[in-house]
Structure 1
Amino acid sequence: MKTKTASASAIALLMAIAAPAFAQPTPPSSSHDSHHAQVAPSSTPDIPDAATSAVKQVDDFSKALAAADFDRVKSLLAPDAIILESGGVERSREEYLDHHAKSDAAFLGGANVNVLSRTARVDGNLAWVATESEIHTSRDNKPVTLLSTETMILNDRSGDWQIVHIHWSSRPKKAE
Structure 2
Amino acid sequence: MKINYVLTTVLSIALLSFSTFAHEPPKSIERSATHFSGLDTAAGRSVLAYHEALSNGQADDVMSALTSEVIILEGSRIERSAEEYRQHHLHADMRFSAAVKTTTIEHHVRVYGDTAVSIARSHTLGTYKGKQIDKQGNETLVLNLINGHWKISHIHWSH
Q: TM-score, normalised by structure 2?
A: 0.83
Q: 1:9 aligns with which of 5, 11, 21?
A: 5
Could you say which residue in structure 2 is the equivalent of 1:47? 37
Q: Does 1:154 align with 2:143?
A: yes
Deviation per CA, 1:103-157, whole angstroms, max 9, x where unpaired? 1111111111111011121111000000000011125656431101000000000
Deviation per CA, 1:45-95, whole angstroms, max 9, x where unpaired? 44248x721111111111111222111111110001000001210000000
Partners of 1:163 and 1:81 lie apart in 2 by 7
Could you say which residue in structure 2 is the equivalent of 1:56? 45
Contact 1:82 1:90 in 2 (8 A): yes
The structure, 1 or 2, with the larger RCO (C-alpha pairs under 8 Å, 6+ apart) is: 1
Could you say which residue in structure 2 is the equivalent of 1:127? 116
Quote the offset at 1:16 in angstroms.
2.6
Residue aligned with 1:42, SS: coil
| Aligned-pair Cα RMSD in Å | 2.4
Could you say which residue in structure 2 is the equivalent of 1:84? 73
Residue aligned with 2:57, SS: coil
Q: TM-score, normalised by structure 1?
A: 0.75
Could you say which residue in structure 1 is the equivalent of 2:106? 117
Cα 1:99/1:19, change in 2 over 3 Å: farther
- Structure 1, unpaired ranges of 5+: 24-40, 171-176
Partners of 2:32 and 2:81 lie apart in 1 by 33
Could you say which residue in structure 2 is the equivalent of 1:166? 155
Partners of 2:60 and 2:38 lie apart in 1 by 29
Partners of 1:147 and 1:138 lie apart in 2 by 15
Q: Which structure's residues are more often helix, by fraction?
A: 2
* Number of aligned residue pairs: 149
